[in-house]
A and B are shown apart, each in its own frame.
Chain A
Amino acid sequence: MNQDQMLLEVRNLKTYFFLEEGTVHAIDGADFAIGRGEALGVVGESGCGKSVTGQSILRIVPYPGRVVEGEIIFYRYNKRPDGTEVQEAVNLTALDPQGEEIRSIRGGEIAMVFQEPMTSLSPVHTMGQQIMEAIILHQGVDKAEARRRAIDMLRRVGMPQPETTVDSYPHQMSGGMRQRGMIAMALSCSPSLLIADEPTTAIDVTTQAQILQLMRDLQEDLGMAIMFITHDLGVIAEMTKRVVVMYMGRVVESASVDDLYYDPKHPYTRALLNSIPRLGQQRAERLESIKGVVPDPYNLPPGCPFHPRCNSFMPGVCDVGDPMNIEVGPGHEVRCFLYNE
């Protein structure tokens, strides 16, 4: 990626949770980058560290978790009076998580749609109050204008009767309405990076299509970049051009969407693609699932973390060393011994 078009760069990120029974290596050396206005897909097994990656970027990893190593560089583009741009790099991992600077970035320049809306919505405030608070904080408009923008955003995410739903409490809403409320909140401040963590799991496909279209519009009109975390490989195919695949806290493959679906390299990616239930597929067939269980997080296997479950496992190689990231084609990288010579 062109350095002058970079928006976010994650280098060797490690985020651990220090629990009594052991240390959870939730992110264990993740590397990836997102360009300005780019939509990057993030997929991977449940528990592999996708949400914690989002939390690490925003510096909201909950106690007893902590970023222990690595850098997250966020690039800002400031306009000079003559119209040219200057790039400014901020290392998010170096910021005080409670400090002024990260708070101005969080919810403003970088917004996140959380996987479980109820973890981040206040039960005692209406949806409208919560969206307006974000708008007032980051956009400096008055209350009436903030309310107008909140209603407008709710309408754009397909909320029924936005003039009345704006005054509803989260518990009065369906799962998908809460999710749309969160999306409206995140989009209301025109972020330069949207971290969308499973944003449409509670939403039917027709409403989803409308929301995805809205995100694409904002991506084009405002140059918003999106880090799109989802298990829905159909949504990935539709929304993104590039995908990273995570396994146990690392990026094991990164590729264009087309390469990933038609020429997957990593054994985990291949197995994952085999498990998709396809529409129109006859019933009663058993679905494929990846054999074996996720490794014990406190006792990580030596070598490649996928080796105990891998179809291509090479004894004496995969369980001994750590595979390197190898470029197997233009923009296609994979971390697997099959491709190390």
Chain B
Amino acid sequence: MAENTNNMLLRVNNLVKHFPIRRGAMKRVVGQVRAVDGVSFHIRERETLGLVGESGCGKTTTGRSIMRAIEPTSGEVLYTKANGETINIPDMSKEDLRALRSELQMIFQDPYSSLNPRMTLLQIVGEPLTVNKMAQGRELEDRVADLLRVVGLRPEYMRRYPHAFSGGQRQRIGIARALALNPRFIVADEPVSALDVSIQAQVLNLLQDLRAEYGLTYLFVAHDLSVVQHISDRVAVMYVGKLVEMASTNDLYYTPLHPYTEALMSAVPKPDPRAARQRIVLEGEVADPANPPSGCYFHPRCRYATEQCRVEEPELLEARPEHYVKCHRANELTLRGVSG
């Protein structure tokens, strides 16, 4: 992809993460889960890229590999630091990586497993600040209190442990912690999935304000397509370890080019008991990333599949300006986007 490299914050090239499958008493490797299988995209400064796709398609693994929360199998993650220097994150030493943590943060999908059960809220949210010697004592408490307030938690909760919170409260603890160091780039993995619509609105407004004020950039993973539409400039759709479509939010939602995207858009439950539904039901077995289908991975469930789709894998091509799609029939099909 020949891109204008101005203001590029992150360029991911051919990112791969395979997990070995082990079986039997000897734990022999009998195969590979191709969780992320050659993913490429870029994000400009101050931009929000939404990442959506079927459960298990590799979104979390993509985010974690970028952040080196797990080690990618191969691929480049080029990140341009605040000082203008561009580095390849997979090549960095642990030490350099730690220094970069003030710029890069992740909000984890599963707040329960990502919060240390033996630390109080004050310690959890304050830890990045103490580790980087940015605040202590009274000042630390004030800063943590501010962070809790912006995510809608009461500072009085500061001395409680994570188990004493509701699901949505825990999710906000993770957000407050990620914001503590004023990062430049955040991978937000389902950051609002456990929040009621009012608090969700508050958090989404906060993320947008931070972007406007401090130029934050987000990779935003979520299943709620209305939330993704609201927050993203561009959206990428993944299916079984690969990107199948990527475009500006409006193009992707109103004129999707990939049949999987069309099915996804049709399945959103409408918050209206009188609404009529025309959902596209995906028939057939869910694809297995250890043993993906031939040709186009989506062909066994695609209602537009032809013989070519069964045998030949399509490439991710720029079908329209800045609108990438991985489908043989992208130029001949007219697909339904969201209405409204």
Q: Which residues of B contact A290 (CB under 8 A)?
A: 198
Which of B131-139, B264-272, B323-331 is the contact stretch? B264-272
Decide if B269 touches A232 in the complex (CB within 8 Å): yes
Decide if B167 touches A51 in the complex (CB within 8 Å): yes
Q: Which residues of A contact B208 (CB under 8 A)?
A: 286
Decide if A233 touches B285 in the complex (CB within 8 Å): no
Q: Which residues of B contact A279 (CB under 8 A)?
A: 225-226, 229, 253, 268, 270, 338, 340
Decide if B197 touches A233 in the complex (CB within 8 Å): yes
- Given the contacts A174-B56, A201-B190, A115 and B198 also touching, CB distance less than 8 Å: no
Q: Which residues of A contact B149 (CB under 8 A)?
A: 293
Decide if A278 touches B340 in the complex (CB within 8 Å): yes
Tier of interface size on chain B:
35 or more
Q: Which residues of B contact A286 (CB under 8 A)?
A: 205, 208
In the complex, A209→B249 CA distance in Å? 23
Decide if A115 touches B167 in the complex (CB within 8 Å): yes
Beta-carbon contacts under 8 Å, A156-190 to B: 158-161, 164, 172-177, 179-180
- Which of B199, B229, B273 gathers most chain A CB within 10 Å? B273
Which chain B residue has the least Cβ–Cβ distance from A174? B56
User: Which of B54, B154, B264, B340 contacts A280, CB < 8 Å?
Assistant: B340
- Given the contacts A203-B223, A206-B267, A172 and B164 also touching, CB distance less than 8 Å: no
- Given the contacts A175-B190, A278-B340, A283 and B229 also touching, CB distance less than 8 Å: yes
- A11 at the A/B interface (Cβ < 8 Å)? no
Q: For residue A224, give the distance in angstroms from its CB to the closest CB of chain B.
A: 20
Decide if A238 touches B204 in the complex (CB within 8 Å): no
Q: For residue A209, give the distance in angstroms from its CB to the closest CB of chain B.
A: 5
Decide if B223 touches A202 in the complex (CB within 8 Å): yes
Decide if A231 touches B223 in the complex (CB within 8 Å): no
Decide if A231 touches B264 in the complex (CB within 8 Å): no
- B263 at the A/B interface (Cβ < 8 Å)? yes
Tier of interface size on chain A:
35 or more
Beta-carbon contacts under 8 Å, A298-313 to B: 298
Q: For residue A204, give the distance in angstroms from its CB to the closest CB of chain B.
A: 5
Decide if B230 touches A287 in the complex (CB within 8 Å): yes
Q: Which residues of A contact B169 (CB under 8 A)?
A: 46-47
- Spell out A's residues near B (CB within 8 Å): 17, 19, 21, 24, 43-47, 50-52, 62, 115-116, 118-119, 158-161, 164, 172-177, 179-180, 197-198, 201-210, 212, 231-238, 257-258, 261-262, 271-272, 275-281, 283, 286-290, 293-294, 296-298
Which chain A residue has the least Cβ–Cβ distance from B159? A21
Q: Which residues of A contact B231 (CB under 8 A)?
A: 283
Decide if B273 touches A176 in the complex (CB within 8 Å): no
In the complex, A115→B111 CA distance in Å? 11
- B38 at the A/B interface (Cβ < 8 Å)? no
- B156 at the A/B interface (Cβ < 8 Å)? yes
In the complex, A201→B270 CA distance in Å? 15
Decide if B196 touches A288 in the complex (CB within 8 Å): no
Which of B89-97, B286-294, B303-311 is the contact stretch? B286-294
B252-282 vs A, Cβ < 8 Å mask (1 yes, 0 no): 0100000000011001111111110001111
8 contacts between A and B (CB under 8 A): A46-B169, A160-B56, A176-B223, A205-B269, A208-B267, A208-B269, A287-B230, A289-B199
B179-207 vs A, Cβ < 8 Å mask (1 yes, 0 no): 00000000000100111111111101100
- B19 at the A/B interface (Cβ < 8 Å)? yes
In the complex, A212→B270 CA distance in Å? 14
Q: Which residues of B contact A177 (CB under 8 A)?
A: 55-56
Decide if B199 touches A176 in the complex (CB within 8 Å): no
- Which of A45, A272, A296 gathers most chain B CB within 10 Å? A45
- Given the contacts A21-B156, A47-B166, A261-B273, A205 and B229 also touching, CB distance less than 8 Å: no
Q: For residue B70, give the distance in angstroms from its CB to the closest CB of chain A.
A: 12
- B98 at the A/B interface (Cβ < 8 Å)? no
Q: For residue A184, give the distance in angstroms from its CB to the closest CB of chain B.
A: 14
User: Which of B198, B199, B264, B288 contacts A161, CB < 8 Å?
Assistant: B288
Q: Which residues of B contact A50 (CB under 8 A)?
A: 166
Q: Which residues of A contact B253 (CB under 8 A)?
A: 279-280
In the complex, A257→B272 CA distance in Å? 9
Q: For residue A41, give the distance in angstroms from its CB to the closest CB of chain B.
A: 10
